[in-house]
Amino acid sequence: MFDYIIVGSGFAGAVCARELAEAENRVLVLERRPHIGGNAYDCLDENGILIHKYGPHIFHTNEKRVYEYLSRFTEWRDYQHCVLAKAGELEFPVPFNLNSLYRAFPEDKAEELEQKLVSAYGMEKKVPIGELRQNPDKDINELADFVYNNVFLHYTMKQWGQKPEEIDPGTTARVPVFISRDDRYFQDSYQGMPLEGYTPIFEKMLDHQNITVRTSAEADSCLSFEDRILFEGEIFEGTVIYTGALDELFGYCYGALPYRTLDFGFEHHDVTYYQSHGTVNYTVDEPYTRITEYKHLTGQKAENSTTIMKEFSRSYRPDTEDIPYYAIINEENNSLYQKYLGKAKEYDNLVLLGRLAEYKYYNMDKIVSLALELCDSINKGN
């Protein structure tokens, strides 16, 4: 018999499984997909190029514990993610920084703007465009408008399917200009890519004598939520850690929680590299939001062979093959989520963890951190 049943084998499920197994618990992991790893899963495509099937994943964290924990299961390749924005004919690094300034404006104008920015705010500062707009200088105001239109507005409309008037002014105001020559997308202390890819991390993590993994296994194939939680028809006395979607668990009884989903357009090209950077954001005209070329991320060497992926964002349709990727966080949706949460609280041996179960956006490091904290408190209570 199992002490814990974990639904989902992404970072939330896999870290919990390992931590609980090491504390001498018998753990069953149920994963509906034919593979483990959740959205961080990677694999070779038909051309032998290592791809991330569910979108590009770059590891970065400021949490030493998370980095050290994952380092038990992988070595790292040093990789600092840099992103280029393509706005019409212009190409410049994002977040918009001093290097971007020289790519977007004529040199004399860029020099003038640089001087004004540095003297007003100092170097290495991220200044939100809301703050730039309050500056009495008209050139700085124009820069804020340029960044709003060419980096933020159309990209956000594509990503979230919004009209300009629907975009939260609070979010707009927070779009930063980075007064720096640092082109990196993240400034975290620990950054990199797992040397052999993500899937081997999950294979090692779940390879433990106390863990049983069932793939292609829907939670409801053996779990049911009646007055009590039943496992294979019997009352389950252990704990269920559920990392799937909460509305789905309860049959969408209050209505579906809205999400954005993504369509991925994979293309193989007979060239060594297709683009100069791992990710290029198409911030204005094209129907896709970004193109990622995996070889830049993974460091894989392959002559005249590369795979790229275009991302198209759209509304998620519940109860179809669509994958819910990004929770649409607003007051209305949060209160719908709270109703489901109320239902979940009826079960004292049900624990919710992860981006789906909590209806939140989490980076991988945050999920690993939360899973470790959850297991710390469970293991202390034991």
Ligand X SMILES: Cc1cc2nc3c(=O)[nH]c(=O)nc-3n(C[C@H](O)[C@H](O)[C@H](O)COP(=O)(O)OP(=O)(O)OC[C@H]3O[C@@H](n4cnc5c(N)ncnc54)[C@H](O)[C@@H]3O)c2cc1C
Letter string b/e over residues 319-348, b meaning 16 or more CB atoms within 10 A of that residue's CB = eeebbbbbbbeeeeeeebbebbeebbeebe
CB of 13 to ligand X, least distance (A): 6
Cβ distance to ligand X smaller for residue 93 or 244: 244
CB of 300 to ligand X, least distance (A): 17
Cβ distance to ligand X smaller for residue 56 or 197: 56
> How many other CB atoms are there within 10 angstroms of residue 45's CB atom?
14
> How many other CB atoms are there within 10 angstroms of residue 363's CB atom?
17
Cβ distance to ligand X smaller for residue 120 or 341: 341
Question: What whole-number distance in Å separates Cα of residue 336 and Cα of residue 151?
Answer: 32
Element (H, E) at 291: strand 290-293
Cβ distance to ligand X smaller for residue 42 or 131: 42
Question: What whole-number distance in Å separates Cα of residue 148 and Cα of residue 345?
Answer: 43
The tokens for 249 are 């668990």
Q: In the β-sheet with 234-235, what is the strand arrangement from edge to edge?
A: 223-225, 229-231, 234-235
Q: Interface with ligand X by CB under 6 A: which residues?
A: 7-13, 30-33, 38-40, 55-58, 218-219, 243-244, 262, 325, 354-356, 362-365, 367
Question: What whole-number distance in Å separates Cα of residue 347 and Cα of residue 224?
Answer: 12
CB of 121 to ligand X, least distance (A): 28
Cβ distance to ligand X smaller for residue 32 or 204: 32
CB of 169 to ligand X, least distance (A): 26
Cβ distance to ligand X smaller for residue 295 or 355: 355
Cβ distance to ligand X smaller for residue 132 or 193: 193
CB of 146 to ligand X, least distance (A): 27
Question: What whole-number distance in Å separates Cα of residue 288 and Cα of residue 184?
Answer: 22
Strand pairing category for 27-30 and 211-214: parallel
CB of 102 to ligand X, least distance (A): 27
CB of 107 to ligand X, least distance (A): 34
Cβ distance to ligand X smaller for residue 153 or 368: 368
Kindly report the three-state secondary structure assignment for every residue of 367-378. Answer: HHHHHHHHHHHH
Contacting residues for 127 by C-beta, under 8 A, at least 6 apart? 117, 121, 176, 177, 179
Task: Confirm if 259 and 316 have CB atoms less than 8 A apart.
Answer: yes
CB of 219 to ligand X, least distance (A): 4
Question: What whole-number distance in Å separates Cα of residue 78 and Cα of residue 86?
Answer: 26
